[in-house]
Structure 1
Amino acid sequence: MMYILIAINLLSFIIFGLDKRKAIKHQRRISESSLLTVTFFGGTIGAIIAMMIFRHKVSKKSFLWKFGVVILVQLIIIYFLRDKLMLML
């Protein structure tokens, strides 16, 4: 389970970095929904680190609101599934 989370966060970090690179080069970008989907399915830490390192999406308030909602939903899911999640670890 831990290896899967590491892989998802690494993927999230790479995708955010790639999107920043594409933004700088004025190329076709990765959609916000794709970035948020990877974040939702476990890539939150990788996304946060990438946002800080690459300074990507940190000034776009609409994205930050959506990002916050994703984290809030994750926290709610973890709260309600905490007993089942502890059994998996």
Structure 2
Amino acid sequence: MESIFVYLLGVNGIVFFLMYIDKQKAINGQFRIPERTFWLLALLGGAVGAYIGMNVFRHKTKHPSFRIGMPVLIILQLVLFLFLS
């Protein structure tokens, strides 16, 4: 159980940090991190970090797929986690 917590903490930290980096790249007009990277990390357990990063950095909040999809993914992952526990 502890290793799962460490994994989830790590993947959520990574996707949160990538939201920050992508926001800075957007501000500076630089090459961006593909959205599929955020979705892959979210599917691998980083949906909470992506959602928090969206709100903290005000990034991807106008995209309905992120605004709606991340909370739905968080709920699905929570249900799955509770089911497997």
TM-score by length of 1: 0.76
Distance of 2:77 and 2:60 partners within structure 1: 20
Matched with 1:56 is 59
| CA offset digits 1:35-61 (Å, max 9, x no partner) | 111111111111111111100000122
Contact 2:47-2:70 within 8 A present in 1 as well: no
1:4 and 2:4 are equivalent in the alignment: no
Q: How many residue pairs get matched? A: 82
Distance in 1 (CA, whole Å) between partners of 2:77 and 2:28 is 33
Moved over 3 A (4+): 62-76
Rg larger in 1 or in 2?
A: 1
Relative distance call for 1:62 and 1:6 in structure 2 (3 A) is: closer
- Aligned residue among 18, 26, 30 for 1:27: 30
TM-score after normalising by structure 2: 0.79
1:61 and 1:14 mapped to 2: Cα distance?
21
